[in-house]
């Protein structure tokens, strides 16, 4: 049986703990490799095949004529990360904790999100250049409507939304008699679906850029959902009783957010409710694990860190009242803000 690297090499671990070994090498070299072997496992279909049962690297290599020793090396790296387990005769299995996320048969599969990280990888590779004042934003939301990358993007967002959609829906109090739900930048529509489960009288309009609307309406069509193509910043928004705006504000600059909140206020009926969800920085300014997500927003949209208090103030300035702030446990550090249009 294999033991953990810590148990195999206690003296090296003590040296690392005493800061005698170069930590930046671990952060960069091991961090990069750790990400890429998991991504390779998805791309090569290794996790899918391991989900069928234990296999050797030779068995995994055969169908796609892969180099057996390369597959073995990937699997050994995955073993060190606790993703797979090897038995004494070199057969690998997916560990149950990893299978929950990596087996395509699992309802919690996140392989599409990991595949989308091919695009993110390229953006992060340009981080140093992106810090230059004159550098352009990456083109995430400017892709042509028929760009195939929309498929990965929409599927990736859907996979993450599944974990918190019901929790979020439970925290958005829907006004009595509400019928019209507007999901601004709602992509896949999973949050609208969750809200409709609790409030079947709602019908949802999902306002999206054409590329996302076309992919999502094909992949995630469901009763009570209608996709409308458009730019949320360039038009009056459809009239509604409840409005969602999830993971868009972080891509917008101050003026764009003001435009959006004003348009949401105008679109909502009196007494209507708006819910905004995103990765915001706490008002204390202290680190809470959101710095890398904020940097990701900067890379793709050139926007600065956004404090939760700033968004609360902006919603108040647009006219909203009764602001409530909720943490969302299953969304990896997002904050939900819910507010009401007086009426
Ligand atoms: C990070 S995704 C969030 C998707 C979904 N709301 C969620 O939380 O899972 C951001 C979405 O905003 C959409 N978007 C960006 N700019 C937009 C705009 N100006 N008008 C409408 N949608 C926009 C993108 O197409 C993308 O689907």
Q: What is the CATH number of the domain that holds 60?
A: 1.10.10.10
Do 135 and 230 lie in one domain? The reply is yes
pLDDT at 134 over 90: no
Total Cβ atoms within 10 A of residue 95:
17
Q: Are residues 215 and 261 in the same domain?
A: yes
pLDDT band at 222; cut points 50, 70, 90: very high
Does residue 11 fall inside a structural domain? Answer: yes
Q: Does the structure show a pLDDT above 90 at 5?
A: no
- Ligand 1 pocket list (CB less than 6 A): 141, 157, 161, 185-187, 207-209, 212, 231-233, 246-248, 251
Ligand 1 center from residue 168 Cα (angstroms): 17
Distance of alpha carbon 105 from alpha carbon 52, whole angstroms:
10
Q: What angle do CA 8, 58, 72 make, to 5 degrees?
A: 30
Cα(276) to centroid(ligand 1), Å: 12
Ligand 1 mutation pick, 137, 141, 195, max ligand atoms within 8 A of CB: 141
Residues 75 and 153 placed together within one structural domain of the fold = no
* pLDDT score at 157: 97
Q: What is the mean pLDDT of the chain?
A: 94
Q: Which two tokens stand for residue 181?
A: 């739900």
3-17, 141-155, 168-182, 223-237: range with lowest mean pLDDT: 3-17
Task: Tell me: pLDDT of 77 over 90.
Answer: yes
- Dist. CA 257 → ligand 1 center (Å): 13
Overall average pLDDT of the 274-289 stretch:
89
Q: How far is Cα 203 from Cα 156, in angstroms, rounded to an integer? A: 24
Looking at the structure, tell me whether residues 99 and 135 fall in a common domain.
no
Task: Choose which residue among 112, 158, 187 to substitute to test ligand 1 binding: the one with the highest number of ligand atoms within 8 A of its C-beta.
Answer: 187
How sure is the predictor about 287, in pLDDT bands with cuts at 50, 70 and 90?
confident
The candidate with the shortest Cα–Cα distance to 83, out of 144, 146, 36, is: 36
Atom of ligand 1 nearest to the CA of 187: 27
312 shares a domain with 194: yes
The boundaries of the domain holding residue 59 are 5-104
């Amino acid at each position: 049986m294999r033991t953990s690297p810590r148990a195999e090499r206690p003296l090296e671990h003590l040296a690392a703990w005493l800061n005698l070994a170069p930590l930046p090498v671990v952060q960069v070299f091991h961090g990069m490799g750790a990400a890429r072997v998991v991504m390779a496992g998805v791309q090569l279909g290794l996790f899918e095949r391991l989900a069928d049962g234990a296999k050797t690297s030779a068995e995994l290599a055969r169908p796609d004529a892969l180099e057996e020793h390369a597959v073995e090396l990937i699997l050994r790296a995955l073993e060190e990360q606790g993703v797979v387990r090897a038995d004494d005769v070199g057969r690998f299995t997916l560990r149950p904790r990893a299978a929950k996320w990596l087996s395509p048969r699992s309802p919690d599969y996140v392989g599409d999100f990991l595949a989308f990280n091919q695009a993110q990888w390229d953006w992060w590779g340009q981080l140093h250049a992106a810090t230059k004042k004159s550098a352009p934003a990456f083109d995430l939301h400017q892709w042509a409507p028929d760009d195939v990358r929309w498929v990965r993007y929409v599927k990736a967002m859907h996979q993450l939304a599944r974990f918190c959609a019901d929790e979020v829906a439970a925290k958005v109090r829907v006004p009595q008699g509400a019928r019209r739900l507007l999901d601004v930048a709602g992509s896949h529509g999973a949050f609208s679906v969750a809200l409709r489960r609790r409030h079947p009288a709602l019908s949802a309009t999902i306002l999206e850029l054409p590329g996302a609307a076309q992919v999502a309406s094909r992949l995630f069509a469901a009763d009570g959902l209608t996709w409308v193509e458009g730019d949320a910043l360039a038009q009056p928004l459809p009239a509604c009783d409840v409005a969602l705006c999830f993971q868009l504000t972080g891509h917008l600059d101050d003026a764009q957010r003001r435009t959006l909140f004003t348009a949401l206020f105008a679109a909502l009926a009196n007494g209507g409710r708006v819910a905004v969800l995103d990765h915001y920085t706490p008002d204390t300014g202290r680190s809470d694990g959101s710095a890398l997500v904020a940097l990701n927003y900067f890379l793709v949209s050139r926007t600065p860190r956004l404090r939760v208090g700033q968004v609360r103030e902006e919603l108040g300035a647009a006219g909203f009242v009764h602001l409530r702030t909720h943490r969302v446990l299953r969304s990896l550090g997002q904050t939900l803000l819910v507010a009401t249009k007086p009426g």
